[in-house]
A and B are shown apart, each in its own frame.
Chain A
Amino acid sequence: MRFALRRAAALAGAGLLLAGPALAGCGKSSGSSPAPAGTEPVTLTVNLFGDFDYKPLYEQYKQTHPNITVKENITDYDTHHKNLKQHLTAGAGLADIEVIEIGQIAGFQGQASKFVNFLDQGVDPSTWTDQRVKDASSADGKVLFGLGTDTGGLAMCYRPSLMKKAGLPTDPAALSAQMKTWDDFVNLGKTFQTKIGDRNVHWFDAASNVFNAIVAQAPQGMYDASGNVIADTNPDVKKAWDQTVAAIQAGESAGLAAFTPQWNTGFQKAGFATITCPAWMMSYIKANAPDTKGDWNVATIPGTGGGNWGGSYLTIPRSGKHVQQAIELAKWLAAPEQQTLLFKTKGHFPAAQALWKTDDIINFKDDFFDNAPVGKIFSAAAENIKYQPLGAHAGEFGNAIGNALVSIEQGKATPDAAWQKAVADIKNIAG
């Protein structure tokens, strides 16, 4: 639903963009002298998936750069990255700034030369963790083509009111103590389901989200360090699968596939008690279920405490017309002040590692989440992220397994048949 509407809006936007230069061309008189560089009115285009909450920042940027107007195009995740690949191959249709999500970034490493190299632009790579820099670099490490914006270190968001109903602790520390491992989490879910006594309320939202969080904590996920696909043979993946399937069979999953209208409704109607929660999820919850303010809290994630879901990079295709202006804007958007502001106002946790230790971040509490010390929690989560090799199709493998889990939730496949299907999918994508 949401993505389709956005796609329609994006198409309309693209239409306007196409008409823009033509209209501007008509207005220009041929005799006028060109305006001095730096003050000529420039419209920069930014292609995003989902809302990055950048709009107020563009206004702020305009105050110091009155000649820069920014136009955003928002499409859904899938379409955005497909379009970007297509446009890079065609060498046309690219925006001045394109974002790339962390699960997709490895797929663009081979095309690093088509993007602006930020190492030539005075960007200090030690701003980010080695992993973040490596993921957005060419194989030889000579080109850094992405500026890390936010980070998806995992926590666990939960509904205190539902915990109370099921006789479970409402306090984050006490709750965390009862779900130290993922097996604990699944077992606690069983207790929750028996005590809650409501068939419309479940322990968690979607099996794929739990599965992804468990795999994200493993030393290796879909790829090994030399870039081979191990998704179908990695024992950690199979173990995560088995744990998740056990939870589905215990009736713990609400079966609300992520980013569907049903999922959105689940937030609003308290359809589930917990959700694996990177910092940006807070922004999603606030935007999607504003009436639930106060009935949320944040505990630490079970398992090793690490794991990452999401986070993005700003990239600049070299073929753009306003590369220099785009570089300035991208660097400004990714600068510490803006990253801090975006976390405190919207919940996008900074990718810049120096910020994780600043008082401004560490002491930040969020009243939407019952004044949980989210600054401290997500700083610790970010510190805990361990290196996991990424690969071109990591995101697609995760989606294939996620769909297989959905088919179990729908009652349309046995766990064995679903796993076979996921393995076939993985082989088909990789082969």
Chain B
Amino acid sequence: MAVLADARPAQRQPAPPGRARVSRWHRLDLTVSPYLYVAPFFVIFGVFGLFPLLYTGYLSLSGWREDQDGSRGTFVGLANYTRLLHDQFFWNALKNTIGIGIISTVPQLMLALGLAHLLNYRLRGRTFFRMSVLVPNVTSVAAVTIIFVQLFGRDYGLINYVLHLFGVSRIDWQAGTWSSWLAISLIVTWRWTGYNALIYLASMQAVPFELYESAALDGAGRWRQFRSITIPMLRPTILFTVIVSTIGALQLFGEPLLFNVSQTPAAGGSQHQFQVMAVYTYQTFLGNGKYGYGSAISWAMFLVIVVIVGINLTLVRRLRGVEGA
């Protein structure tokens, strides 16, 4: 605390003579150290975020591909991007990404909201329950997907076994478009619902109790309270989770890749029915060694994310907020 107080510019006093040296250090400390404190983030972001982003941008303008010697560093302008417009596999990947994104994110956030509401009640051992919902999130994507692939096994999977008890014939989950989307969405939902529930819960606890009290006095039932108090008060949090989940869904990679148990995991199914954008980038860039074109897809993916997040932002902003807030 004392340090913080010291750092306030308002506290600065003209240095008495004789202490000029100390004062210079002090001033330097005041001007430089804040930057030093935030530097680690920016250095790491620069090395692992910004540089790859810019370098990929540079590559996307080049015709570099592994199967053509001497193609490294050749400049092809926007040729990779014009090709992208006519690439049926890219549009297919975009469709799959959005499809899986919707059926994994929308139910997930609603489920999280409901779960948070339940966890907000006075429960016996509620810390235990609150912590438990986070457990799926701390397990690794690979481990979770491997287990789900077992559950979704065509011949000996638990899910088909249970469905079989109800007279449903065996489903080859990887084979169909909807079945594969559903299965992948379930993996994503399982991993992320608890995480979002905790965020909602934290925000719910910040809602003043008086609001509920007065609403109850006015005769509002539980559902009405949830709709008219909880949701509007949670608006900024919902905004946050929608944005973060949208970005996550559009960058989906590990689940669809590992869900494909075959010699060609990056193909995303026999007809690319669950090949999402990140997996198509991976296949093009590393699988087929088309570095220039793969980079262009990568950048297109970035732009798609910006656009879709923008759309979502405007949509969610229209959600009714607290009156006067």
Residues of A at the B interface (CB closer than 8 Å) are 1, 3-5, 7-8, 76-78, 82, 85-86, 89, 107, 110, 257-262, 265, 392-393, 396, 399-400, 402-404, 406-407, 410-413, 418, 421, 424-425, 428-429
Contacts and interface: CB of A to CB of B under 8 A. Distances in A.
B132 interface: no
A428 B89 contact: yes
A403 B258 contact: no
Contact of A78 (B88, B155, B264, B270): B264
Nearest to B288: A429
Interface string B138-170: 000011011001100111100000000000000
Given A259-B262, A399-B267, A403-B264, A107 B150 contact: no
B105 to A, nearest CB: 25
Nearest to A403: B270
7 contacts: A1-B149, A3-B261, A3-B265, A77-B263, A85-B286, A107-B289, A410-B270
Contacts of B88: 424
Interface residues of B, number: 35
Among A4, A85, A425, find the residue whose CB has the most chain B CB atoms closer than 10 A: A4
Contacts of B218: none
Given A4-B258, A82-B287, A258 B66 contact: no
B155 A412 contact: no
A320 to B, nearest CB: 21
A110 B271 contact: no
B264 A399 contact: yes
Given A1-B261, A86-B286, A403 B271 contact: yes
Interface of B: 66-67, 69, 87-89, 142-143, 145-146, 149-150, 153-156, 172, 175-176, 258, 261-267, 269-271, 273, 286-289
A110 B67 contact: yes
Given A396-B288, A410-B270, A412-B271, A257 B263 contact: yes
Contacts of A410: 172, 175-176, 270
B146 A1 contact: yes
A259 B155 contact: no
B263 A399 contact: yes
Contact of A421 (B149, B156, B271): B271
A259 B149 CA distance: 15
A351 B133 CA distance: 56
A418 B176 CA distance: 14
Contacts of B175: 407, 410-412
A258 B263 contact: yes
Contact of A412 (B143, B176, B264): B176
A7 B89 contact: no
Nearest to A266: B155
A110 B267 contact: no
B66 A110 contact: yes
A89 B154 CA distance: 39
B70 to A, nearest CB: 9
B261 A393 contact: no
Contacts, number: 96
B156 A265 contact: yes
A5 B267 contact: no
A73 to B, nearest CB: 17
Nearest to A108: B66
Contact of A260 (B69, B156, B261, B271): B261
Contacts of A85: 66, 286, 289
Nearest to B172: A410
A8 B271 contact: no
A414 B2 CA distance: 75
A5 to B, nearest CB: 7
Contact of A407 (B149, B150, B154, B270): B270
Given A393-B67, A396-B287, A261 B146 contact: no
Contact of A4 (B69, B89, B142, B271): B142
A430 to B, nearest CB: 9
A262 B146 contact: no
A52 to B, nearest CB: 18
Contacts of B172: 410
B71 to A, nearest CB: 10
A392 B271 contact: no
A406 B270 contact: yes
A157 B119 CA distance: 60
B263 A413 contact: no
Contact of B261 (A77, A261, A402, A418): A261
B155 A1 contact: no
A370 B266 CA distance: 39
Nearest to B72: A89
Contacts of B271: 403-404, 407, 412-413, 418, 421
A265 B150 CA distance: 13
Contacts of A429: 288
A3 B149 CA distance: 12
B263 A259 contact: yes
Contacts of A396: 287-288
B37 to A, nearest CB: 29
A428 B176 contact: no
A78 B146 contact: no
B142 A8 contact: yes
Contact of A403 (B67, B142, B150, B267): B267
A424 to B, nearest CB: 7
B150 A412 contact: no
Given A78-B265, A258-B263, A412 B288 contact: no
Given A262-B154, A407-B270, A428-B89, 6 more contacts: A76-B263, A107-B66, A107-B67, A261-B261, A413-B271, A425-B89
Nearest to A5: B146
